[in-house]
């Protein structure tokens, strides 16, 4: 490769490289250093990390986050796939654009407003409880808001839209010949789906699922508004360190631990489904 | 240079762009740049001052002293002129060398309820660094149509099973731990690590009865919508602003007492506009400023000055005339050491995580 080609290559990637250095690598390094300098101590130490492994409440925040995020991811996939399938194969071509627009309509409202709206729907005097009690199905209102279920509901509402888009795009790329070939070879509709369509759309599912996982596990707003703070997830625990005490070492350490979890999730997804091919 | 200092500088460097934007946003030299709580953003409070002095007040809101001090550390010296701070945290600004001594002879000190001046937290080496502007109580707020008001006169309500599933807890560990301390007969000022197991017992019992642990907005919403009938840690700051729409919302000062919250104004040592900063502090402490601050649209609270120009109706809602009796029973926020503070926050975390 000639020197000039090499220079052109560097010139092409340098804006992206600079962006990554300034807005990711440098803050990341700063955060790593801050995490090693515990509040109120002069020396370097791993104390901010140590508390995560020794304090069960901190560890619990991670398990809570993983439980909620996995539930959200699985439910979102299960709801989004049939939705995307209907959009891709059952809705007439000329209506698909409108249907897609309607599917993403909730994206147009503010995330915070949407979460508070869910709070009103799920509240003791909200739409669901009021309907069920007036129909006589419930004698007393039940607690729906301020629960983990409320957090999961708020998340799923958002991420079903995201997953629908990624899976729809994947389904539309599939040639109809795959299904025809499977049918010619005697496969039933179910067999064709399980053995042909599903494996071919798995990359799209996993890309959407990974995005869902990453965005949900780092989200502070939804669990804070809908979960009623009845349990802490990692982002809430991180915010708590900063609020009054300004303990940036603990907040940084917890953030890096969360980042490590996301990295592991990426490695698992990347190795299993080879995301880079999608 | 210590590691902590290096870390702070690195942190500062990493948010340099934000600091630049903040300083860019801070307008001309004649403007006043104020780091405030949401009650100071009310145009009804700021406009009369701006009209009278021609000084434009640029406000930036923050929650929590730690977050406020972080903004200051990430800014350029001189970016900020005044700051609202928990009175118990004035010391933190002084220890960092951020605050300017205030000229006491130019402030209406005599008008301020003596119980809320809290000199031990705002005067150091004979100099005053913070002046109380507003106060109130972290106590019990409730809907008197839904509860037995007599139950609200005792901190036994913290663990009263009769209200299981109808209680919300205000999500701020210091005042609620203070209430828990009073419930077991401890003084908030005397809390030590040895008290934590007994406090934990009260907090866990409280959580077992709670429907939610709520921030400021959610606390008000919970009471206003009937999602909760009792708010532990609430007070006039939750109920007074919505009392006209819902007269059943009230607060009590239990026989064991309540936790006194108090917010102060401080001036920055590096302020480029100290005259304007002092004028602003004087305005806030004036009878008119006090009335407007006390009834701010964000939250109501008791004015620090006995001379606040409140209407009779506003005084009734705030229970202004009962203050001497309330103050006699109130205790200050716990002011723990750094180490105990961390342990208290961890105890709070444990309470929230308890199922």
Q: Which domains does chain A have, with CATH numbers?
A: 62-277 (1.10.3720.10)
CA A246 to chain centre: 28
Question: What's the CATH number of domain B3-129+262-329, 3.10.20.30, 3.40.50.2300, 3.90.226.10, 3.40.190.10?
Answer: 3.40.190.10
Domain borders along chain B are 3-129+262-329, 136-258+332-353
pTM for the structure as a whole: 0.84
Q: Which residues of A touch B14 (CB under 8 A)?
A: 26-27, 30-31
Cross-chain residue pair A146–B225, CB shorter than 8 Å: no
Q: Which fold has domain B136-258+332-353?
A: D-Maltodextrin-Binding Protein; domain 2 (3.40.190)
Q: Chain B within 8 Å of A249 (Cβ-Cβ)?
A: yes
Per 3-state DSSP, what percentage of chain B is helix, strand, and coil (rounded to 5)? Answer: 50, 20, 30
Nearest CA in chain B to A64: B353
Cross-chain residue pair B70–A242, CB shorter than 8 Å: yes
Among partner residues B4, B218, B352, which is closest to A232 by beta-carbon distance? Answer: B352
Cross-chain residue pair B11–A30, CB shorter than 8 Å: yes
pLDDT at A5: 83
Cross-chain residue pair B7–A248, CB shorter than 8 Å: yes
Interval A50-103: pLDDT, tens: 999 999 999 999 999 999 999 999 999 999 999 999 999 999 988 988 988 888
Cβ pair B308, B287 in contact under 8 A:
yes
Interval A6-55: pLDDT, tens: 889 999 999 999 999 999 999 999 999 999 998 878 889 999 999 999 99
Among partner residues B67, B172, B352, which is closest to A242 by beta-carbon distance? Answer: B67
Nearest CA in chain B to A25: B14
- Closest-CA distance, A104 to chain B, in angstroms, reads 28
CA A219 to chain centre: 8
* Among the listed residues B106, B129, B148, B11, the one whose alpha carbon sits nearest the alpha carbon of residue B66: B11
When mean pLDDT is compared across A111-125, B78-92, B159-173, the lowest value belongs to A111-125
Give, in order, the Cα–Cα distances in Å from A183 to each of A89, A178, A193, B352: 16, 9, 11, 56
pLDDT at B130 over 90: yes
Cross-chain residue pair B67–A143, CB shorter than 8 Å: no
Cross-chain residue pair B345–A42, CB shorter than 8 Å: no
pLDDT at B11 over 90: no
Fold agreement between B3-129+262-329 and B136-258+332-353: yes
**How is residue B286 annotated by DSSP?**
S
Among partner residues B6, B174, B338, which is closest to A40 by beta-carbon distance? Answer: B338
Q: Chain B within 8 Å of A121 (Cβ-Cβ)?
A: no
* Among the listed residues B310, B263, B316, the one whose alpha carbon sits nearest the alpha carbon of residue B40: B263
Other residues' Cβ atoms within 10 Å of the Cβ of residue B272 = 16
Interval A102-124: pLDDT, tens: 888 877 888 888 998 998 899 88
Confidence of residue B242 (pLDDT cuts 50, 70, 90): confident
Q: CA-CA-CA-CA torsion for A74, A79, A82, A87, nearest 10 degrees?
A: -120
Cross-chain residue pair B353–A231, CB shorter than 8 Å: yes
Cross-chain residue pair B64–A243, CB shorter than 8 Å: yes
* Among the listed residues A263, A254, A264, A274, the one whose alpha carbon sits nearest the alpha carbon of residue A31: A254
As for the ipTM of the complex, it is: 0.85
Confidence of residue A275 (pLDDT cuts 50, 70, 90): very low
Interval B312-343: pLDDT, tens: 999 999 999 999 999 999 999 998 998 999 99
**Residue B265 DSSP SS3:** strand
Cross-chain residue pair B346–A55, CB shorter than 8 Å: yes
pLDDT at A17: 94
pLDDT at B3 over 80: no
Q: Chain B within 8 Å of A240 (Cβ-Cβ)?
A: yes
């Amino acid at each position: 490769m000639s020197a000039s080609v090499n220079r052109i290559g560097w010139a092409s990637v340098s804006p992206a490289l600079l962006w990554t250095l300034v807005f990711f690598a440098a803050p990341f390094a700063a955060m790593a250093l801050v995490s090693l300098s515990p509040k109120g101590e002069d020396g370097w130490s791993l104390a901010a990390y140590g508390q995560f492994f020794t304090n069960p409440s901190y560890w619990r925040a991670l398990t809570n986050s993983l439980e909620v995020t996995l539930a959200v991811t699985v439910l979102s996939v299960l709801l989004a796939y049939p939705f995307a399938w209907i959009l891709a194969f059952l809705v007439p071509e000329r209506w698909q654009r409108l249907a897609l627009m309607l599917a993403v309509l909730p994206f147009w409202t503010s995330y915070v407003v949407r979460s508070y709206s869910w709070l009103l729907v799920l509240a003791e005097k909200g739409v669901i409880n009021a309907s069920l009690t007036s129909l006589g199905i419930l004698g007393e209102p039940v607690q729906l808001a301020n629960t983990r279920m409320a957090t999961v509901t708020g998340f799923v509402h958002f991420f079903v839209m995201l997953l629908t888009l990624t899976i729809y795009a994947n389904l539309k790329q599939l040639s109809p010949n795959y299904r025809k070939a499977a049918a010619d070879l005697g496969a039933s509709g179910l067999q064709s789906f399980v053995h042909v369509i599903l494996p071919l759309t798995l990359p799209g599912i996993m890309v959407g699922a990974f995005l869902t996982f990453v965005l949900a596990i780092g989200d502070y707003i939804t669990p804070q508004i809908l979960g009623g703070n009845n349990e802490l997830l990692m982002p809430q625990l991180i915010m708590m360190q900063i609020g009054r005490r300004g303990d940036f070492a603990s907040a940084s350490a917890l953030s890096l631990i969360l980042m490590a979890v996301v990295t592991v999730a990426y490695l698992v997804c990347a190795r299993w489904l080879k995301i880079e091919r999608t | 240079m210590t590691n902590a200092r290096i870390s702070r500088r690195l942190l500062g460097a990493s948010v340099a762009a934000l600091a630049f934007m903040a300083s860019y946003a801070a307008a001309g030299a004649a403007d006043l740049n104020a780091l405030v709580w949401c009650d100071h953003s009310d145009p009804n409070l700021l406009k009369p001052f701006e009209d009278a002095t021609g000084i434009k007040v640029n406000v930036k809101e923050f929650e929590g002293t730690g977050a406020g001090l972080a903004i200051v550390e990430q800014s350029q010296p001189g970016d900020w002129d005044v700051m609202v701070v928990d009175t118990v945290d004035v010391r933190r600004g002084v220890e960092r060398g951020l605050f300017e001594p205030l000229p006491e002879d130019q402030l209406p000190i005599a008008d301020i309820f003596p119980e809320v001046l809290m000199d031990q937290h705002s005067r150091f080496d004979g100099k005053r660094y913070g002046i109380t502007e507003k106060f109130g109580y972290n106590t019990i707020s409730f809907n008197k149509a839904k509860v037995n008001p007599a139950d609200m006169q005792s901190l036994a309500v913290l663990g009263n099973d009769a209200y299981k599933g109808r209680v919300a807890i205000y999500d701020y560990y210091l005042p609620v731990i203070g209430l828990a301390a009073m419930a077991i007969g401890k003084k908030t000022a005397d809390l030590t690590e040895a008290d934590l197991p007994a406090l934990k017992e009260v907090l866990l019992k409280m959580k077992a009865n709670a429907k939610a642990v709520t921030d400021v907005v959610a606390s008000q919403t919970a009471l206003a919508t009937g999602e909760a009938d009792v708010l532990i840690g609430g007070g006039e700051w939750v109920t007074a602003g919505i009392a006209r729409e819902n007269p059943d919302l009230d607060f009590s000062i239990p026989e064991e007492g309540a936790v006194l919250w108090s917010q102060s104004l401080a001036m920055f040592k590096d302020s480029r506009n100290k005259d304007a900063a002092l004028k602003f502090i004087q305005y806030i402490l004036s009878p008119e400023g006090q009335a407007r601050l006390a009834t701010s649209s964000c939250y109501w609270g008791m004015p620090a000055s006995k001379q606040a120009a409140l209407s009779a109706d506003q005084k009734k809602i705030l229970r202004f005339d009962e203050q001497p009796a309330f103050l006699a029973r109130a205790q200050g926020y716990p002011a723990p050491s750094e180490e105990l503070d961390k342990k208290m926050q961890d105890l709070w975390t444990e309470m929230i995580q308890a199922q």
